[in-house]
Amino acid sequence: MRCEVCGRKIHTDPVRAEIEGAKLTVCVECSKYGRVITREEADVALNAAEKSSAPVAIHIQKKKPEARVELTQEMVEGYPNKIRQAREKLGLSHEDLGKKINEKESVLRKLETGKMAPNNMLVTKLEHVLKIKLLAPISEDKVPQVQTSKTAGELTLGDLMQFDKKGGEEPKGRKQS
């Protein structure tokens, strides 16, 4: 089978894609020029093809599983002050530190004022250059555990807000009206 866009022979599974309004059978490289037709759209096209009795080649693309990431570390408390103190201890200006880690001065100023949280790459650079730790394991005591039971009644969003305001006291259950 040949790609209907570039004309090359398709060695892998052909892809069904809509390119500029036309539904074509293309190779994987040419599928990036349009929108790959999903299973639902392929089923609709198949039903329409059965009614018209015209042969139609359809490739059904399966959805890829989503990657799940479990967070195990969090930023330490007071990271803006920690960054500023470490920078000053080394005698570096914002400009000097920015040159060392290849980052803008404005980003460093925002970090030190707490207006911005660093991404993982920036945290790694700062930890290395400033010789400090900005990430710590997530502590269990900071995560409130709310357990509900069917007999106590289900909790509402308002119940959870009261739980947060009370500083971690577990709610008693939904109040009956």
37 or 125, greater pLDDT? 125
pTM for this entry: 0.43
Question: Mean pLDDT throughout 7-25?
Answer: 82
Q: Which part of the chain has CATH 1.10.260.40?
A: 73-137
Cα 104 to Cα 107, 131, 132, 139, 142: the distances in Å are: 5, 20, 20, 32, 33
CATH 2.40.10.170 fits 73-137, yes or no: no
Cα 140 to Cα 51, 59, 78, 145: the distances in Å are: 60, 48, 19, 9
Under the banding of pLDDT at 50, 70 and 90, the label for residue 149 is very low
Under the banding of pLDDT at 50, 70 and 90, the label for residue 130 is very high
Least confident of 5-9, 41-45, 95-99: 41-45
Question: Mean pLDDT throughout 70-95?
Answer: 90
Task: Dump pLDDT digits (tens) for 23-47.
Answer: 888 887 888 888 888 656 655 655 6
